[in-house]
Structure formats: C-alpha cells, structure tokens
Chain A
Amino acid sequence: MVRLEYIKKEYEKTRQMPGKWYLTSCRYKFNITRFQPFLSALKEKRLIGLKCRSCNTVSFPPKLVCGKCLTRPDQWVSLRETGIVATFTANYMKDETTGEANAFPVIAVRQDGADTTYLTQLNPKVKFEDVYVGMPVKIKWKDNTEGNLNDIDYYDCIDDPTQKMDSLTK
C-alpha cells in the first residue's frame, strides 16, 4: 500500500514529447553573420562571390570553407548578372487541370566571374527543347527583394552573340 501512494504522488514537473516526428522538420543552423555581406548584396540586387586567397577560386553560391585549401575564404568579389549554362536537365511537373506532364529546365549556371556553378531554374516560359549548354543567361530579380537566395526569381535567356555570328556567316 505504501508503494501505491508513492506512484500516486503528484509530480510538479513532467516532460512532454510528441509521438511523431517528421523527417523533413529537421532544422539546420547556419552562420548568417559571415554570410551577411552576401545577403545584403542580394537585397540591393547585386551578386557577390567568395574568393579563396589561397587558390583564387571564386565560389558562387559562396562557400564558408574552401575544401581544397581548408581555409575560410573572406574576400568578397563582385560578379556580373550574366552567366552561361554549364549543364542542364529537366523536372517534370503535372499540370493539375490538364494532367499533362510538362518539362521545366533545371540548369547549372556558371556566373561570369565565378568558378563554380549554381543549380537553379530557368524562366518557366522557356521551352526545354530550346536550352543548350553554353546558353547565356541573366538573372531575373524579384520585385521586392528580402535578402535571401529566393530573391533570384529565375534565370532568363538573353541574346547569344555567338549564334548571331553563326547566322551571319551562313
């Protein structure tokens, strides 16, 4: 009888935990202070990359650590808004009204002035069949920039000078 009394004793503090946990609900910490120049630049519709002082590699999107040199790159360099398509593939999304699967280009852009590529989306109006490696593209900013990577709405294609030259020679 003594034991039962012990169990029934009211505890002042208990611990609660949810019975379910969704895998994608994981949070990731990120050093926003070191990234602040990049995010501020995005808000001003400018692009900057991080240059490693040891190997001179300019990374865009900027990397906090240079894997080759095991150093912290700290030299911000300005990049142009233009770049070229390094490689591409397609995502297929189902149109809910028609049920058709449409191809949306997924591209890796090498920003002019950077050595690495950025995986992103092309203007959804551009047909997948028209994309090619080496295609010049330019950033399309969102109207209201907030200072994060989503400020880049998508990449838009621009006139390709090499293609024009081809047509002139023909």
Chain B
Amino acid sequence: MDKVGIVGYYQVQPSLNLNMGRYEMIFNTVRGALDSVGLKRKDVTSVVSATNDYYDGRTISNCFTVEAGGAYLKDESKVEMDGAYAVYYGLLRALSGHHKLVLVWGGSMPSCFPYSSSTLLSTDPTFERPLEIINDLTAGGLQMRAYMNKFDVPAEDIAQVAVKNHKNAAKNTSSLPESRMPDISTETVLNSDVLSSPVTELMYSQPCDAAACILLAPEQQALKIRDDPVWITGVGYSQETYYLGDRDLSRSQSMQDAAQMAFRMAGVKDAKKEIDVAELYEHFSHEELIFAEALGFCDPGQGPSLSTEISGGIPINPSGGGMSGNAPCATGIIRLIEAIKQITGEAKGYQVKDVQRAIASGQNGFCAQTNMLFVLEGGSK
C-alpha cells in the first residue's frame, strides 16, 4: 500500500454539555485542524464526515454541515458510523490519486438527545424490539457476563481496567473533565451504580459532546506540508453477525480479522513485540481485554495479566481510551489523534517512551459488532 500521511488534527474539548451549538462545534474543529498546519479551505480537495441522522434529529444530516464542515463546492459525503470509518474512506480517496488533501471530521452532541434510547432503534425489529429488553447497556452486560464466565475472570480484574483508564484520563488534558479520577480504586468502580449487571457506571464510557478532525494527504503531498507526518501503514476492517444471539460474545472475531489484515499490510509479524502503544475504542472496560486478546497481545482469557500501564510492557489507552469521553461518531478519530500524539511526542503527561509504531481502533454496533484497526508509524519517510 502507498503511504498516506496524517498532516493535521484538532479535537474539541469534550464536555457533558458543551456551551455551543453543533454548527459552531463543527466549525471550530475543522478550522482548528486547518490552522494546525497553516492550510486554507481551498487546499482541501475532498471531505468525509461522520454523523448520524438519529443523533442529529434530521435526515441527511450532512446537508446542514456543508459550510461549517468546509465542504462548500467540494465532493463531500457522509459515513453514518464511527469516525474511524470516515477515516477509512478518506484514506481510500487519498490513495485514489485524485485528491491532494482529504479532510475527515466526525462528532455529535449526546446532551441534545437520549443516547441509550436511540440505541433501541438499532435493535432487531423482529426478535429484540418487541420485548424492549435490549439496548447498548444490556448488550454490554451480556457480553461482560459471557467473558467473565468463559475464562473465569473476576469482576475485580475488569474494574482494574476501568481504574487504569480513569487514572490515565486524569493525566490527559483533552479528556472529559468528569472522567478524570486520579484517586479511583477498584472498590469505587465496583460500588458505583449498576447500569446492567455486572456492568457498573464507571466501567461504561460516558457519552459526551465532542468533535474531531484530521487531515490526510498522499505521501508526496504530505511531505510538502510538513516534515514529520504520521503515516498510516496498515488498515483492517471486519464485521460480525447483527443478531447478538448468533455471536460468541466472549471474544471478538471481527477484531481478530481486522488485526490480521492491518498487521499483514503493515508488515507486523509479532504484534506484542512490534506495537509500542495501542489506543482502543472500548465501549465498556471488558472490551479492552477482549480486544487485547483478539489483537494477539496474549492468549484468550489472559487479558487481565497484561501489563498495560503507561510504563508497562504493552501500554493500552494511555490517554484513557473510551473512558476519557465517548463522543459518538468522533471517538474513533480521537483514538487516532491520541495515537498520533504518542508517535510525535506531544502527549504531555501520559507519553509512552520511544513510540515508533502505534495502533488505533474504532468500533460500531452492539458489543463491537464491527471493528476497524489502523497501524500508524512515525519517521519522515
């Protein structure tokens, strides 16, 4: 694969109730990304956005973001999934040879709509919806129970992941302020409100308002814009069955397939040795363990024994991951931005030492039905 460079990025500070409108939030994000490398709107040749009609409360929601999203008289189109999928389509456009600079943005405002209620509308209308018992939270509960039971993992081990991520979020200045908990303990996590047994409130990535934007350019163009772009060297994408009952919830086959595809493309043979840091989009704490196992960092069921702290053997989510604020449609892009920060050494306070190669993931659907994985590398060429 030809290389595509990420030349600029910007992220709006997440908040539970952002003090601006959607239009303004998107403008700030897109303008911020262009300003981060001193480019103008006329340099952008293509735009891909990630929003959702249900989250926006209007059909064809990208028609109102044309001006704020920098898409006026450009070939803009929308992905109604996580931002990571918008990055994937932006990557394809950059690789097509027709575009010099692709702008990708995604974001939403859960303070304006009931997030968990909106997930009811993604359930199966024949088998699940008439019962009114399944939404994203109960699906997470089923998944955590299946994982705990299959591998005899105690709830304390999963709470430990939440503790690590909330502590990391406290070091990250671009995390959701409510998620920063430097003094959190496993007891606090286990004793917080139960969302859907055994998932508790602090094991759940809280939906928040935010938007994020990155700029992609093909190799030669990227080197003209800056000396040290971060390169996308591998990408993988896979999805599982829609109906929850058809899946083995204790593992993630789609992440395993996505990782195989991305690692083969990037020439990674031993993930554990060759990946320096991982930024994974986990909706619930237990998903981080399931993903770590699917990525080949350890054998199935051995996730809790991994050393994933910032100074550990394989640091996972030094920024806090999904726990540091989950902005629907933007979290995948934010994970990419955090991985870029680790490579360029901009992650002040939560920097992992000597990062050459990082991975970032995005997910969509109940219990991470689809997964997207990017392999990012530093170095001028």
Identify the A interface with B (CB < 8 A).
23-24, 28, 30, 59, 61, 63, 67, 86-92, 103, 106, 108, 116-121, 128, 133, 149-150
Contacts and interface: CB of A to CB of B under 8 A. Distances in A.
Given A28-B125, A28-B126, A61-B127, A116 B245 contact: yes
A63 B244 CA distance: 13
Contact of A149 (B130, B145, B241): B130
Contacts of B141: 88-90, 106
Contacts of A117: 244-246
Interface of A is mostly: strand
Contacts of A87: 142-143, 145-146, 149, 249
B138 interface: yes
Interface of B: 54, 121, 125-128, 130-131, 133-134, 138, 140-146, 149, 194, 196-199, 241, 243-246, 249
A106 B121 CA distance: 19
Given A63-B243, A119-B134, A108 B127 contact: no
A119 B131 contact: yes
Nearest to A150: B130
Contacts of B130: 149-150
B55 to A, nearest CB: 12
A56 to B, nearest CB: 15
Given A106-B138, A108-B142, A116-B243, A30 B131 contact: no
A58 to B, nearest CB: 11
A119 B133 contact: yes
A87 B146 CA distance: 5
A67 B241 contact: yes
Residue in A30, A63, A87 whose Cβ sees the most chain B Cβ within 10 Å: A87
B196 A108 contact: no
B142 A91 contact: no
Given A23-B121, A63-B243, A150-B130, A89 B249 contact: no
B197 A89 contact: yes
17 contacts: A23-B54, A28-B126, A61-B126, A67-B246, A87-B249, A88-B141, A89-B138, A89-B199, A90-B138, A90-B197, A91-B196, A103-B197, A106-B134, A106-B142, A119-B131, A119-B244, A133-B149
B144 to A, nearest CB: 8
Given A61-B245, A86-B146, 19 more contacts: A23-B54, A23-B121, A87-B145, A87-B249, A88-B145, A89-B140, A89-B198, A91-B138, A106-B134, A106-B138, A108-B245, A116-B243, A118-B127, A119-B127, A119-B128, A120-B133, A121-B131, A121-B133, A133-B149
B283 to A, nearest CB: 14
Contacts of B145: 87-89, 133
Nearest to B143: A87
A23 B57 CA distance: 10
